[in-house]
Amino acid sequence: MKPKAPISQIEQLYRSSYEDIAIFNWVEAQRKIIPAMTVEQSIGLWIKHYGGNWDAEGLRTTYCRMQKKFYEASKTTK
């Protein structure tokens, strides 16, 4: 039985690490709430909120990779 379209999009995300999913959802949610927010601003808020020694460029690369994976999955399910 073939999974429903929205479910297969979720499957693509679940195959990623928790950190990758978290940064993708963080940036997507903030940009939906505040459309003028840039990816860099959102990542800066991520680093400020969670603390630690995060690499901003690495987080941006992760976000872009996850975004591509999500949108490619949504194209194939339509």
pLDDT in tens, 17-29: 888 889 999 999 9
- The C-alpha atoms of residue 6 and residue 35 are separated, in whole angstroms, by 24
List pLDDT tens digits, range 11-59. 666 667 888 889 999 999 999 999 999 999 999 999 999 998 999 999 9
- The C-alpha atoms of residue 15 and residue 36 are separated, in whole angstroms, by 30
- The C-alpha atoms of residue 48 and residue 14 are separated, in whole angstroms, by 26
Phi, psi of 30 (to 5 degrees): -65, -40
